Chains A and B, each alone.
Chain A
Amino acid sequence: MSELLSMKGITIEFPGVKALDNVDFSLNAGEIHSLLGENGAGKSTLIKCLTGVNHMDEGKIYLEGKEIRPSSPMEAIETGISTVFQEVNLCPNLSVAENIFVGRQPMKHRQINWREINQRAEELMSRFHLDIDVTRPLSYYSTAIQQMTSIARAVDIQAKVLILDEPTSSLDENEVQLLFSVMRELKANGMGIIFITHFLDQIYAVSDRMTILRNGHLVGTYGINELSKVELVTKMVGKDMDVIFNLKRADVKPDSRITLQANHIGDSSHIKDISLTLKEGELLGFAGLLGSGRTETAEMLFGASRIVQGEIILDGTKLNLTKPFDAIKAKIAFCPEDRKRDGIIGDLSIRENIMLAVQSRKGFMKPMTRQEQTDLANKYIALLGIATPDCEKKAGELSGGNQQKVILARWMAAEPEVLILDEPTRGIDIGAKAEIQRLMLEMCGSGVSVIFISSELDEIIRCSNRIVIMRDREKVAEIDGSSCTQQDILKIIAEGAA
């Protein structure tokens, strides 16, 4: 097999961190090569240096034997490198079709040929089994469809090298399989694909080789059959991972008091009738496909979308939630799924990001001293293992997974009574994932009631006391967490009945 791309001795330094230190990487034509490492290991940085977003301090890149030095994404695309960046990077105001074709629109009589754009976009999306109206603005659609759109764009560019930086983080199982079949097809045509993900199963399912990074250093490149999963994790994390697989479910006594109760709540658009109860110290899992109404339900409980029917009762008193602030005051915390849109404020420091919820609950009239803030921030940085030199770094400069941890820290610091976590482990490496699960369970242990939304069934089953299963914006079942299997849940999701 011929070598398509090779990167030699790449070094990139940011103020305070050496993000990459003398890293080598190589990609063959017709190969799917996974890039692995914990949050902040430098995966995205390596990609960004290849695509001209970041500039390397040292090192050389060769594409088909010729040295290249992309200085902007535009140049990278022209040399044949097409990328899906980690955070969805498209324009929300443009239509789905246009997002796929902007900058390279088919022309007819020196005018943009809209008919062809829409037609080809529709074909492309139907290759991913998505039958949607491609002329609607992108913002109209879910994160999953947005992610598919950016994949469709990158795939259609017909580059020599395709880079996918965590493309699967908001896709469900079917969509992932579709993506894989497309990737295999492209590979058969001789394209080289760099694939980044935190899902180990996915790596084993599609890759030919894998390269592991740790703290900006190269650990090594291995064939897919050379390493077992456990060896792989050990290499990524640098220590044994027994802890991960040793979690204990929260212990809820039958007579524990009920903290949160929702009776037949529904919002103005999709959700009609949801009822649930949550006990003190209990972890309630929400399972279901994307778009099944899990997030909408959580938003109602947090006052982010208004309920038009039913009631929400917290500790025996009926709540009147019209805005998130009411919920924060009632000690309900919500950690949203789309960290870029609803969560992190990139220009504020880590400390300020963590302080936001604490401060808004205490009221802005009672400020905390700087020292208190720093202590609190440092406590959570240590607790969650956020990779940063200090708590004054801008949150926007953290790696994707570490941003997620900062949001989590924000809500944990607010000491809520009910904590709702929407996909808190998305885009988080396996070590940190276990860490977050452990933290959730610890919070349960100290009496907090947790609602945990996740698309990964194994973690739902591992942690939940009870599991609510949603489908088509309805609650279809509620089952006991300790005695069910993935198959049980999948069956209910597929068939829609308990």
Chain B
Amino acid sequence: MHNRQSLLNRITNPKYIMVYATIGIFLIVYAFGAFMYSDKGFLTIRTFANLFIDNAYYGISAVGMTMVLITGGIDLSVGAVASLTGMFIAYGTTVLGLHPMTCILASLVMGVGLGLLMGWVIHYLNVPAFITTLTGMFFARGVCSLISRESIDIHHPFIDALAGWKIYLMKYANGQWVRIRPIAFINFNVILFVIMIIIGTFILQRTRFGRNIYAIGGNEQSASLMGLPSGRTKILVYGFNGLCSVLAGVSYALYVKSGWNLSLQGGELEVITCAVIGGTLLTGGVGSMIGTLFGVLLKSVIPALITFNGNLLSWWGKIATGLLLLLFICIQRFVVTSAGKRK
């Protein structure tokens, strides 16, 4: 009975296989990069930090998306909602002269409200999540274009300060703290991303709400027969995902310092890709935040590799991502069928 709790036994629990696959493939790809381009500085901390900086907004959105996918649903509106958030901030500060926080607050009300509404429609009106959130996406995009059909730059001291704020990574040498070379830093977006991953992990692993998400994804009918509040849980999950979309929008606005009605087109698919290569099952019931974190890193290390190569067209990145997605879906099939086999 004691060896049950032993480390080895815990590690070999089949529920972790997907996470191992993601981390393993990330390490392989990363080691490949290190082997090929270490002379160009692929191995530096700066390159690693940039993976986070350049993809934080996808990561933030992937936190909410992971939860939605675990319930067995999908949300196609995230890109459009993030884009709308950017428009709110840009139009609000530059044209209306509002404080950015006011705009962000308005975006939060919009994003969370839309999420809750979509969750309600999905559960109580029994409309498939795909259709419901597709409608949500068109709605948000439509409002974007109503606000403005041109890109609006954001100039505001608050935004500039937030976007420019950075923590330099330091090391201790010769009795004092010095910036590491080549200079590497993390910014507000990275910290927000990491915090969201931590919050997401906490929700999924440590709260009843989080466990209900898994139960619903495993078998919704069973979940309600077991007396779990499936409707409430689903609605809140879409609401939380709305929150993540808005935060992703804020983070993207800080990254590009403008709002454009056509920004982040197809962003929802990038986000779903991150979650799936992070080991989240599209059929629901399986997924984790650690997996998603590595999914984001894995997806972003590929364009980085192509940049380092310098000779390849960036479209190769898309092809590689596609292959990766295919690989993961195959692994998932395998894991699902072998886990479904009785002992």
A positions within 8 Å CB-CB of B = 53, 72-74, 76-78, 83, 85, 89-95, 98, 102-103, 105, 111-112, 118, 122, 131, 133, 135-137, 139-143, 153
Known contacts being A91-B218, A133-B9, A140-B339, is A103 close to B212, with CB within 8 Å? Answer: yes
The verdict on B221 contacting chain A, using a C-beta distance below 8 Å, is yes
Please indicate the chain B residues that have their CB under 8 angstroms from the CB of A89 in the complex.
219, 221-222, 225-226
Please indicate the chain A residues that have their CB under 8 angstroms from the CB of B285 in the complex.
91-93
Please indicate the chain B residues that have their CB under 8 angstroms from the CB of A103 in the complex.
208, 211-212, 215, 226-228
B343 touches A112 (CB 8 A): no
Please indicate the chain B residues that have their CB under 8 angstroms from the CB of A143 in the complex.
342
Known contacts being A91-B223, A112-B206, A153-B226, is A139 close to B339, with CB within 8 Å? Answer: yes
> Within residues 310 to 339 of chain B, which ones have a CB less than 8 A from any CB in chain A?
339
A122 touches B1 (CB 8 A): yes
Known contacts being A103-B226, A103-B228, is A112 close to B207, with CB within 8 Å? Answer: yes
Given A89-B219, A92-B219: 8 more A-B contacts, CB < 8 Å = A76-B227, A90-B219, A91-B285, A93-B286, A102-B211, A102-B215, A135-B10, A137-B15
Q: Which residue of A lies closest to B336 (CB)?
A: A139
A73 touches B225 (CB 8 A): yes
The verdict on B217 contacting chain A, using a C-beta distance below 8 Å, is yes
B228 touches A92 (CB 8 A): no
Please indicate the chain A residues that have their CB under 8 angstroms from the CB of B223 in the complex.
91
- A–B Cβ pairs within 8 angstroms, 15 of them: A85-B225, A89-B222, A90-B226, A91-B223, A91-B226, A93-B15, A94-B211, A103-B211, A105-B208, A112-B211, A133-B4, A135-B10, A137-B15, A141-B342, A142-B343
Q: Which residue of A lies closest to B4 (CB)?
A: A133
The verdict on B38 contacting chain A, using a C-beta distance below 8 Å, is no
In the assembled complex, the Cα of A73 lies from the Cα of B225 at a distance in Å of 6
> Within residues 199 to 255 of chain B, which ones have a CB less than 8 A from any CB in chain A?
205-208, 211-212, 214-215, 217-219, 221-229
Please indicate the chain A residues that have their CB under 8 angstroms from the CB of B212 in the complex.
102-103
Option from B15, B219, B340 in Cβ contact (under 8 Å) with A91: B219
Option from B217, B219, B226, B342 in Cβ contact (under 8 Å) with A73: B226
In the assembled complex, the Cα of A300 lies from the Cα of B227 at a distance in Å of 39
A94 touches B339 (CB 8 A): no
In the assembled complex, the Cα of A195 lies from the Cα of B208 at a distance in Å of 31
The distance from the CB of B96 to the nearest CB of chain A, in whole angstroms, is 41
Please indicate the chain B residues that have their CB under 8 angstroms from the CB of A105 in the complex.
208, 211
The list of the 9 closest CB pairs from A to B, nearest first, reads A91-B218, A93-B285, A93-B218, A74-B227, A77-B227, A111-B206, A89-B222, A89-B225, A91-B215
In the assembled complex, the Cα of A95 lies from the Cα of B214 at a distance in Å of 11
The verdict on B128 contacting chain A, using a C-beta distance below 8 Å, is no
Please indicate the chain A residues that have their CB under 8 angstroms from the CB of B13 in the complex.
135-136
Option from B214, B224, B225, B342 in Cβ contact (under 8 Å) with A94: B214
* Interface range, B side: 20 to 34
Option from B207, B217, B226 in Cβ contact (under 8 Å) with A93: B217
> Within residues 6 to 53 of chain B, which ones have a CB less than 8 A from any CB in chain A?
9-10, 13-15
Please indicate the chain A residues that have their CB under 8 angstroms from the CB of B218 in the complex.
91-94
Most chain A C-beta atoms within 10 Å of own C-beta, residue among B215, B222, B229, B286: B222
Option from A76, A77, A95, A122 in Cβ contact (under 8 Å) with B15: A95
Please indicate the chain A residues that have their CB under 8 angstroms from the CB of B1 in the complex.
122, 131
B214 touches A74 (CB 8 A): no
Please indicate the chain B residues that have their CB under 8 angstroms from the CB of A77 in the complex.
227
B positions within 8 Å CB-CB of A = 1, 4-5, 9-10, 13-15, 205-208, 211-212, 214-215, 217-219, 221-229, 285-286, 339-340, 342-343
In the assembled complex, the Cα of A139 lies from the Cα of B206 at a distance in Å of 22
Please indicate the chain A residues that have their CB under 8 angstroms from the CB of B219 in the complex.
89-92
Most chain B C-beta atoms within 10 Å of own C-beta, residue among A92, A93, A105: A93
Option from B4, B211, B228, B340 in Cβ contact (under 8 Å) with A139: B340
The distance from the CB of B180 to the nearest CB of chain A, in whole angstroms, is 36
Please indicate the chain A residues that have their CB under 8 angstroms from the CB of B5 in the complex.
118
Please indicate the chain B residues that have their CB under 8 angstroms from the CB of A133 in the complex.
4, 9
Option from A95, A140, A153 in Cβ contact (under 8 Å) with B343: A140
In the assembled complex, the Cα of A89 lies from the Cα of B219 at a distance in Å of 9
In the assembled complex, the Cα of A92 lies from the Cα of B9 at a distance in Å of 20
A73 touches B340 (CB 8 A): no
Please indicate the chain B residues that have their CB under 8 angstroms from the CB of A98 in the complex.
211
In the assembled complex, the Cα of A89 lies from the Cα of B207 at a distance in Å of 22
The distance from the CB of B15 to the nearest CB of chain A, in whole angstroms, is 6
The distance from the CB of B19 to the nearest CB of chain A, in whole angstroms, is 14
In the assembled complex, the Cα of A83 lies from the Cα of B226 at a distance in Å of 8
Option from B15, B208, B224 in Cβ contact (under 8 Å) with A74: B224
In the assembled complex, the Cα of A78 lies from the Cα of B212 at a distance in Å of 17
In the assembled complex, the Cα of A83 lies from the Cα of B227 at a distance in Å of 10
The distance from the CB of B33 to the nearest CB of chain A, in whole angstroms, is 34
The distance from the CB of A265 to the nearest CB of chain B, in whole angstroms, is 18
The distance from the CB of A427 to the nearest CB of chain B, in whole angstroms, is 18
Please indicate the chain B residues that have their CB under 8 angstroms from the CB of A139 in the complex.
339-340
Q: Which residue of B lies closest to A75 (CB)?
A: B227
In the assembled complex, the Cα of A98 lies from the Cα of B212 at a distance in Å of 10
Q: Which residue of A lies closest to B231 (CB)?
A: A72
The distance from the CB of A390 to the nearest CB of chain B, in whole angstroms, is 26
The distance from the CB of B274 to the nearest CB of chain A, in whole angstroms, is 21
In the assembled complex, the Cα of A131 lies from the Cα of B3 at a distance in Å of 12
The distance from the CB of A395 to the nearest CB of chain B, in whole angstroms, is 16
Known contacts being A72-B224, A74-B229, A112-B205, is A94 close to B215, with CB within 8 Å? Answer: yes
Q: Which residue of A lies closest to B9 (CB)?
A: A133
Please indicate the chain B residues that have their CB under 8 angstroms from the CB of A153 in the complex.
226
Please indicate the chain B residues that have their CB under 8 angstroms from the CB of A85 in the complex.
225
Most chain B C-beta atoms within 10 Å of own C-beta, residue among A90, A91, A135, A141: A91
Please indicate the chain A residues that have their CB under 8 angstroms from the CB of B215 in the complex.
91, 94, 102-103
Q: Which residue of A lies closest to B216 (CB)?
A: A91
In the assembled complex, the Cα of A94 lies from the Cα of B219 at a distance in Å of 10
B228 touches A74 (CB 8 A): yes
B211 touches A90 (CB 8 A): no
Most chain A C-beta atoms within 10 Å of own C-beta, residue among B223, B229, B342: B342
In the assembled complex, the Cα of A89 lies from the Cα of B228 at a distance in Å of 12
Please indicate the chain A residues that have their CB under 8 angstroms from the CB of B222 in the complex.
89-91
Please indicate the chain A residues that have their CB under 8 angstroms from the CB of B4 in the complex.
122, 133, 135
Please indicate the chain B residues that have their CB under 8 angstroms from the CB of A73 in the complex.
224-227
The distance from the CB of A91 to the nearest CB of chain B, in whole angstroms, is 3
In the assembled complex, the Cα of A163 lies from the Cα of B53 at a distance in Å of 56
The distance from the CB of B213 to the nearest CB of chain A, in whole angstroms, is 11
Q: Which residue of B lies closest to A107 (CB)?
A: B208
Please indicate the chain A residues that have their CB under 8 angstroms from the CB of B10 in the complex.
135
In the assembled complex, the Cα of A195 lies from the Cα of B217 at a distance in Å of 30
The distance from the CB of A298 to the nearest CB of chain B, in whole angstroms, is 13
In the assembled complex, the Cα of A25 lies from the Cα of B218 at a distance in Å of 35
Please indicate the chain A residues that have their CB under 8 angstroms from the CB of B226 in the complex.
73, 89-91, 102-103, 153
The distance from the CB of A455 to the nearest CB of chain B, in whole angstroms, is 16
Please indicate the chain A residues that have their CB under 8 angstroms from the CB of B9 in the complex.
133
